[in-house]
Amino acid sequence: MSSSTYAESLASGSTSRLVPTPAASPEERPLDRPRRALWAWSGIAAGVAGAAATFLGPQTSSEDVTSGGAEAVWRSLHDQTTVRIGASVGFLATALLLVFAVGFSRWLEEHLPSRSLVPAAVRMGLTGSVGALVVSYGFKAMLAGGMPGGIDHAMYTHSDVSALLIITGQIQWLGWMGVAFALAATAAAVLRGRVLPLWIGILAALNSLAVAVMTLAFALPYSAGVLSPIVLALLGVTLVASRKAQR
């Protein structure tokens, strides 16, 4: 700009046009709408992959088998490949859950009052499940390695594998408890703030209530893994498909 042009701008009082507007910092920029966001789709994939990983492979032995001791349990084990695939799919689901935890908690921060505790509760619940599921599917990988035909079968006694079977068969369900906590917090946000369609809030609340009853009344915390992955996937679908979520 020439000095004469600048002088004319000063005289006309239009110097404000010469001052650039600062760009918003990354923290101030809103998230992409869930329909176009990787994190929302990650929730769908994490729920589906997590459910598949949990059901792939043996769970626990029947009473008829366990009554025969560790050797009977060892002889009952087969299809090591399915268990190994289940562990691999489980680790993939865990990574996807981490992505969803970060994105969904930030989305809640943008759609709830600043003093709301829900985003932090959701973040902590999902993060807790990420850690628990890493351990859970780690045990499943160990079981696959120790089973007949496994890569590490020579490292384990038959009693070791029998113990791994009962641990894996329980902990892979328990690992979803943090997701149940996060769904309870999500239900509170939906029922009070209507940030998402009412039906997903009711479904999340019923799931968390069922887990609470089974855990506190019957000492069955493994119930968290029965429906929580499916409700998680439906929450992801709601975030992607619901018009309300795109605001």
pLDDT at position 66: 73
For the ranges 34-48, 114-128, 145-159, the maximum mean pLDDT occurs at: 114-128
pLDDT at position 7: 47
- How many helical (H) and strand (E) elements, i.e. helices and strands, does the chain have? 10, 0
Asked if residue 12 has pLDDT above 70, the reply is no
Instruction: Give the confidence band of 200 by pLDDT, cuts at 50, 70, 90.
Output: very high
Q: Are 125 and 193 in contact (CB under 8 A)?
A: no
pLDDT at position 79: 83
pTM of the model: 0.83
pLDDT at position 57: 75
Q: For residue 241, what are its two tokens?
A: 């498909």
List the domain boundaries for the chain.
34-246
pLDDT at position 217: 98
Instruction: Give the confidence band of 15 by pLDDT, cuts at 50, 70, 90.
Output: very low
Single out the residue of 140, 60, 59 nearest to residue 93, CA to CA: 140
Task: Report, as an integer, the average pLDDT of 170-193.
Answer: 96
Instruction: Give the confidence band of 243 by pLDDT, cuts at 50, 70, 90.
Output: confident
pLDDT at position 34: 74
pLDDT, tens digit (0-9, with 9 covering 90-100), for 18-42: 444 444 444 444 556 777 788 999 9
**Which residue is associated with the tokens 């807790």?**
128
Burial 135-164 (b: 16+ CB within 10 A, else e): ebbebbbbbbbbbeebeeeeebebeebbbb
**Helix 80-111 to helix 118-146 angle, to the nearest 10 degrees?**
170
pLDDT, tens digit (0-9, with 9 covering 90-100), for 50-82: 999 988 877 776 766 777 787 878 777 888 899
